[in-house]
Copies of this chain bind each other. A is one copy, B any other.
Amino acid sequence: MQSLFDGLDSAAQAYPQRSFRRGEFIYSVGEESNNLWLLNAGIVGLFHISGSGKETLLRVFGPRVTLAHRSILDGGVHHATAIALSTAEAIAIPRTEFLAILNARPELLLALSRQLAQDLREAEERIARVMDRTASQRVAEALVYLRLRYPEHNWTRREIAEFSETTEETCTRVMGQLEARGLLVKQGRRFDLPAPDKLLDEAIA
């Protein structure tokens, strides 16, 4: 089955590609979602930033996926802020053109629905997990998820903490314990997980 990104790729060729450096905003919460973004390269994080400055990493996007499709279908206002986590290349398609393409090609709308259904499952599993697991367990699970899914990215303690709903300090401490148990190896700022499956087993148990 064709992905939403692939189905829109040819239409995107008509538009210029934009570059973002680490830390740059692709869009911000509250803005109108006038564009659908096609991410060609790099890693982008979708963040919720609260009044008190506390940040939550809601979703992570890698190459060959779309951004802002959810907002466009839900009232046209961004509910969160998309920030480049590494150098990123993306193309913006006008909202109206995106909707016209969806209208003309129901199979792409179906692909989009499936993506939303999957994202909703993942979000709801996270809601339940906060109550269900300790901070250590959540960090361990986040490490495995982020590392396996986006191995090329240099995940920081802060990013891991914001994804696992805990603090940077707790994250550091948990990673230290995992290192002591041989489940994590630090090399400068980078780290590796020699046995991700074992790590998950021990974390959940």
> Considering the chains assembled together, what is the distance between the CA atoms of A113 and B73 in angstroms?
7
Q: How many copies does the complex hold?
A: 2
Interface range on chain A (Cβ under 8 Å from partner) = 35 or more
Q: Which residues of B contact A180 (CB under 8 A)?
A: none
Q: Which residues of B contact A52 (CB under 8 A)?
A: 132
- Give chain A interface residues in 73-89, CB to chain B under 8 Å: 73-74, 79-80
Q: CB-defined interface of A99-126 with B at 8 Å, one 1/0 digit per residue?
A: 0001100100110111011111101111
For the complex, is A66 an interface residue (Cβ under 8 Å from B)?
A: no
> Considering the chains assembled together, what is the distance between the CA atoms of A187 and B112 in angstroms?
47
For the complex, is A58 an interface residue (Cβ under 8 Å from B)?
A: yes
The majority secondary structure among interface residues of chain A is helix
Q: Which residues of B contact A1 (CB under 8 A)?
A: none
Q: Are B124 and A58 touching (Cβ within 8 A)? A: yes
Q: Are A124 and B48 touching (Cβ within 8 A)? A: yes
For the complex, is A130 an interface residue (Cβ under 8 Å from B)?
A: yes
For the complex, is A136 an interface residue (Cβ under 8 Å from B)?
A: no
For the complex, is A14 an interface residue (Cβ under 8 Å from B)?
A: no
> Considering the chains assembled together, what is the distance between the CA atoms of A172 and B105 in angstroms?
52
* A124 shortest CB reach to chain B, Å: 5
* A113 shortest CB reach to chain B, Å: 5
* A165 shortest CB reach to chain B, Å: 5
Q: Are B56 and A127 touching (Cβ within 8 A)? A: yes
Given the contacts A103-B106, A109-B109, A132-B54, A74 and B114 also touching, CB distance less than 8 Å? yes
Q: Which residues of B contact A102 (CB under 8 A)?
A: 110
A-B contact pairs, 7 of them (CB 8 A): A50-B132, A52-B132, A56-B127, A56-B128, A70-B120, A113-B113, A116-B120
Q: What is the interface of chain A, defined by CB distance below 8 A to chain B?
A: 48, 50, 52, 54, 56, 58-59, 69-71, 73-74, 79-80, 102-103, 106, 109-110, 112-114, 116-121, 123-128, 130-132, 165
